[in-house]
Amino acid sequence: MTEFDGLPVLRSPVAIAAFEGWNDAADASTAAVEHLEQVWQARQITELDPEDFYDFQVSRPTITMADGETRRVEWPTTKFMVASPEGTERDVVLIRGIEPSMRWRTFCEQILEVCHNLEVNRVVLLGALLADVPYTRPLPISGSASDKDAVERYQLIPTRYDGPTGIVGVLQESCNKADVDALSFWVHVPHYANNPPCPKATQALLHRVEEVLDLPVPMADLAEEAAEWEQRVRSAAEQDAELGEYVRELEERVGDAGIEPLTGDEIAQEFEKYLRRRGGPAGPGPGPGPTAGSW
């Protein structure tokens, strides 16, 4: 692990974290953190040593070549960036990485060690899951918090899910055990339009970040991208009668309080039916990563 001597002294920092992989449908959550890195001109302060946490045959390093010479090998890891947004008296620690292949508890301990050294007072975890939601409506946000008042304050949709989880769920439990204030937001990505990127989902997460920080996030370009994404899905639904009918059913379900959300298995079954009707292969489900409630 990188030695953390010389870390900067920050102003009432809040950490925002997202991880590639199972927790990141359509890359929506890591795209949110990456967006913050760019608009707030964040600077890297440290990273975890990847040797202990990643299978490099699964998450391979990348290499940069120039004139036939190796310039740099970039290793998969988790990086810590610091941003100092204008208009606030606090700093923001941005944590972005890849879900580890092994030693998850040690991984979480090391993340919390960095947060402790930086005197982070809250950790906000971002995730994205596949769900049966209409693309035409605001994408729902579910989540949880160590503080019950925060659940009401941010109007989080609670979950009663029991089952496999990802590094976001494990890290949140680690925060709770360490008495670190932790809050998670999960955006629901339409499973029939899950190819990355999904700027509408990323934008939904960033709006929640704005609420937590009480600070506006520049999103003009992202808003345009979200509108273009929605138009592409609309065009696909107009050209595919069965997809269009399915979206209308989802819209009606959203407006009917008496209809319970589908489980992850039910979403997978619906998606398989949709693929079979179109003559495509009926695979194991809507793709990698969690489905609604499976986090």
Domain covering 14-226: architecture: 3-Layer(aba) Sandwich (3.40)
CB of 42 closer than 8 Å to CB of 82: yes
Distance CA 287, CA 281 (A): 13
Q: Mean pLDDT over residues 286-290, rounded?
A: 49
Give CA separation, 257 vs 141, 190, 251, 261, 294, in Å: 17, 19, 12, 10, 21
- Per-residue confidence (pLDDT) for residue 264, from 0 to 100: 54
pLDDT tens, 233-264?
Answer: 999 999 999 999 999 999 988 754 433 444 55
In which band, very low, low, confident or very high, does the pLDDT at 46 lie, cut at 50, 70 and 90? very high
- Per-residue confidence (pLDDT) for residue 269, from 0 to 100: 57
pLDDT tens, 188-210?
Answer: 999 999 999 999 999 999 999 99
Distance CA 281, CA 54 (A): 32
Instruction: Measure the CA dihedral 74/22/188/175, to 10°.
Output: -90
In which band, very low, low, confident or very high, does the pLDDT at 267 lie, cut at 50, 70 and 90? low
pLDDT tens, 124-167?
Answer: 999 999 999 999 999 999 988 887 788 778 877 766 667 788 99
